[in-house]
Every structure is written in C-alpha cells, then in structure tokens.
Structure 1
Amino acid sequence: MRVAIGGMKKPEMEAAIKRADSTIETVITTDIGAVPMLESGEVDYYFGACESGGGAAISILIGMIGYGKCCTVAKNGGQVNPEVIQKFIKDGKIVFGMAHDSIEKAVPVLVEALINAQ
C-alpha cells in the first residue's frame, strides 16, 4: 500500500501511519502534488489533515479527483467511527481528510480498515 500525505502535520501523519503498519510506503507531498500520483497509480490513497478535516485537507482533491472519491474520516472534535470508515472504503473512497488533532486516533483505524479491505 502506498499513501500520499498532505496538509498540516505531515511528519506526524507519516509517523502515525508507520506506527499502524511499518510496511506502508509513504510520500510526503502537497494536495495538488498528490493528484497526478493518484491518477497514475503511483500511490493508492491520500491522507490529508487541516483544522476541520474537510476543508483544506481535501478541497483541491475534491475538485480534481472528484467528490465521490473523497471523504472526511474525523472532523475537528468529532469521533472516529470504524463502521463509517469501512463504508467509505467500500464505496471506493481513496482520499481521506481528517482534523489535524485527530491524526493519532483516526490513522490507526483508517489503516486497519484499508488493510482489511484488501
């Protein structure tokens, strides 16, 4: 599995991904830099963080990849719901936004759901 990382707290996001599964390949980039990586298959997924989890974390990708492939897995102050994340993955989402303060809670759940979906 290959994950592009953008938005706020990129090093923290990468560390959380590696703690969840050290075999995942990560690429730190920008939101717009992730678009051609996703389109070409260079990466499988994009994880982005911002203040809200649904704004700057994924807005460029919504516009360029399409709303149907993007979702917010953890809003600012919100809960991480494994069932909702599993549904997003089943529905074909490949771009995942989260509030930067939820990285430590959301990433392990998201990584586990993606691995289980393979």
Structure 2
Amino acid sequence: MKKIVVGGQIDRKEVAKLVEQHAEGKFDVEVKGDLDAAMALKNGQADYYLGACNTGGGGALAMAIALVGRNQTSSVSMPGKIMTEDEIREEVAAGKKAFGFTAQHMETVVPIIMKELVNKEN
C-alpha cells in the first residue's frame, strides 16, 4: 500500500484526518515532523507528502523542497490565492510528490489532491 506523510508547521493532525477521510483505503497515512516527513519521501519510505502552514510554501514545504527538489513540490494555495481544481489536478498529473497549502484552505485542496492520488492508484 502506498504511504502519505503529513508534515507542515500547523494543523498536522487535522490534515492527516482529512487525508484519511479521502484516501478510500488506498493509502497509509502518517504524521511526522517536517524533516522526518521529507526524509521519508526522499528515501522512498513514503510516496507523497502533504503539509500546511500559514504561507503554503515556507513551513509547509521547505524541507521537502530542500530534500527532493522544487520540481517535485507544489504550493497549491497561499494567502489570497488558491489553485483551481484543474490546476491542482495538473500538478498531480505532472508527478509532483509534495503538496503545500495554507491551513485555511485544507478543506478545499486536500479532497482534490486525494481524489487525484486515488485515481492514480486505480
């Protein structure tokens, strides 16, 4: 079974709960600190990373960007700007592995990300 790690600076448990609600039994979900989550992704111990912070990019994705590279990451929301559903789908389809967003947008973006990841697994 594929694995999703939840990192980020804030609301990790809430993000993980939302991820689990939309995982359709296709993913194991684990909450880790930023560095441990990004290391798990880099080392192949996790397949995807989701994280929230106040900016959608800094604390949510900094470690993932540093360890797996910007080309594997996507800030799907930031204060005052949220990607459209089509844009988020394109990021998943492009093979991005780590997704950052603001905690205020988690109810919007996590279901879209998870729908696309579940579809990739089917």
TM over 0.5: yes
Map 1:1-118; keep pairs closer than 5 Å.
Answer: 1-7=2-8, 8-23=10-25, 24-118=27-121
Q: Answer yes or no: is the 8 Å Cα contact 1:73–1:96 preserved in 2.
A: yes
Q: Which runs of 5+ in 2 are unaligned?
A: none
Alpha-carbon deviations, 1:44-95, whole Å to 9, x = none? 1000100010111001211121010011112223334221112112222101
The whole-number CA distance in structure 1 between the counterparts of 2:14 and 2:80 is 18
| Structure 1 stretch displaced more, 78-87 or 25-34 | 78-87
Q: Answer yes or no: is the 8 Å Cα contact 1:80–1:105 preserved in 2.
A: no
TM value normalised by structure 2: 0.88
Q: Which runs of 5+ in 1 are unaligned?
A: none
| Structure 1 stretch displaced more, 103-112 or 33-42 | 33-42
- Secondary structure of 1:105's aligned partner: helix
Runs of 4+ in 1 over 3 A off after TM superposition: none
TM value normalised by structure 1: 0.90
Amino acid at match of 2:32: T
